[in-house]
Amino acid sequence: MSAPKTMVGAITRRAAATLLLGAAGAGIALNAAAAEWAPTKTVRIIVPIVGGTNDVVARLVQQKLQEALGQPVIVENKGGAGGNIGANEVAKSPPDGHTLLVGFNGPIAINTTLFSKLPYDPVKDLAPITLAVTAPQFLALNPSVPATNVKEFVALAKTKKLAYASVSIGSASHLTMEMLKSAAGIDVTHIPYKGSAPAVVDLIGGQVDAAFLVPGNISEFVKDGRAKVIASTGAKRFPSMPQVPTMIEQGYPDFVAVSWIGFLAAGGTPRPIIDRYNKELVKILRSPDVRSQLEKMEFEVVAGTPEQFAGWIQTEIPRWGKVIKATGAKAD
C-alpha cells in the first residue's frame, strides 16, 4: 500500500530541509576555512642567539612562510643571557601572532633552573607551535688534544688544565659538559660564547680544547681535520658518523643530552593563530627541499603538533633541572 500524498509531501519537505541544512553547514565550514587567520603586518622571527643552527633554521623557513602568509617575514637576532633576552622579548610581545621565537633547550627548558630568576615563565608566557628538529651533541676536541676517547679525555683533564667552549650560558653545550665534569670528577674551565660560530672558531683555532656541539656545527671541520669527535650524546650512534661511539657505550649509563629547536609565540596567543602557524611551519619543515637541507645539517625533522611540543617541554624542564642541581651549575 502506498503512503498518502500528504505523508510523501512531508517526507520530501524534511529531506529538502535536511539537504539545505547540510549545505549550509558545509558553507559555514568552507567560510571558516576561507577566513583562516592571517597576519596584517610584518612578522618577526626572533632568534635568541647569535648565528649558528638556530639562525639557519629560522632563515630556511623565512621565505616560504612569507609566501604562505602574504606578509613580510623578517629574522632578528637578539642574543644574550643564554637566550633569555630574545625569549623575554617574545614573551612580553602582544599575543597577536606577529612575533615568533626560535626556541631551544636553554631559554625554554634549562634556564628555569639555571638562573635564580627569569623575567618570563617559559610555560605560561610562551605558546608552543611545533618542535622543529632534534640532534645529539658531539664531544669535539681540537686535534692537538691527545685523547681519542672519553676515558683518555678524562684522564688528561685530571692532569692538565683544559678549557671548553659553550655556545652560551645555559645552553645544552654548557650543561652537557657540566654533566661530564660531575660524572667523571674532573674540572674543565668554562668559556661561554654568544653563539656557536665563535665557539667553533676558537675550538678549531686552539683557544679552547673541547666543546659539546651539535653535528651540524662541527661535522665539516671534522672532515677536513680541523677538529675531531670522540663521543655522541645520543641514545644510539648517529647515522652520519657511525664510527663515533656514544657516551653510554663509553661507560656513562643514561648519558643522553639532545639539542632541539622549536617555534613558539607569546603566551595567550589565540588558538586559531597557533593552528595557522603550525599548519604552515609543519608543511615547510616537511617540504622536500627544506627537509633535505635540515638533514644535511645533521638534524632529525620532527614537525609535530603544539600539544606534542608542550609535552616535550614539560619533560625537558625537570630533566635538565636534575642535571643543574646535581652539578651545582649556576648562571648568576
Dump pLDDT digits (tens) for 56-85: 999 999 999 999 999 999 999 998 888 899
Cβ neighbours of residue 209 under 8 Å, at least 6 residues apart? 141, 142, 145, 162, 163, 164, 188, 203
Q: Residue 276 sits in a domain of what CATH number?
A: 3.40.190.150
Tell the burial category of 293 from Cβ atoms under 10 Å away from its Cβ (0-12, 13-18, 19+): middle
> What domain count does the chain have?
2
pLDDT for position 171 = 80
Q: Encode pLDDT of 132-186 as tens digits.
A: 999 999 999 999 999 999 999 999 999 999 999 998 777 889 899 999 999 999 9
**Residue 2 placed within a domain:** no
Banded pLDDT at 35 (limits 50, 70, 90): low
What average pLDDT does the segment 187-197 reach?
A: 91
What does DSSP assign to residue 116? S
Put residue 146 in one of left, alpha, beta given phi > 0 → left and psi -120 to 50 → alpha. Answer: beta
Between CA 193 and CA 191 the distance in angstroms is 7
Q: Encode pLDDT of 280-309 as tens digits.
A: 999 999 999 999 999 988 898 999 999 999
Same domain assignment for residues 123 and 142: no
Is 191 in contact with 166 (CB distance < 8 Å)? yes
Q: 74 or 239: which carries more pLDDT confidence?
A: 74
Rg of the chain taking only CA atoms, in angstroms: 25
pLDDT for position 286 = 97
Between CA 39 and CA 153 the distance in angstroms is 52
Is 294 in contact with 60 (CB distance < 8 Å)? yes
Q: How many CB atoms lie within 10 A of CB 142?
A: 18
Q: Residue 149 sits in a domain of what CATH number?
A: 3.40.190.10
Same domain assignment for residues 128 and 270: yes
The rounded mean pLDDT for the chain is 89
Lowest mean pLDDT among 111-120, 279-288, 305-314: 111-120
pLDDT for position 27 = 42
Same domain assignment for residues 167 and 115: no
Half-sphere exposure of 296 (CA within 13 A, CB side): 9
Query: 3-state class of 17 per DSSP?
Result: helix
**Residue 7 placed within a domain:** no
Q: 119 or 196: which carries more pLDDT confidence?
A: 119
Same domain assignment for residues 128 and 267: yes
Whether 191 has a pLDDT exceeding 80, the answer reads: yes
Same domain assignment for residues 287 and 306: yes
Task: Supply the range of the domain harboring residue 298.
Answer: 43-134+259-327
Q: Encode pLDDT of 266-284 as tens digits.
A: 999 999 999 999 999 999 9
Same domain assignment for residues 297 and 163: no
What average pLDDT does the segment 210-232 reach?
A: 95
pLDDT for position 21 = 45
Q: 267 or 3: which carries more pLDDT confidence?
A: 267
Residue with cell 576555512: 33
Banded pLDDT at 9 (limits 50, 70, 90): very low
Percentage of residues of the chain with pLDDT beyond 90: 71
Q: Cell numbers at residue 295, please?
A: 638533514
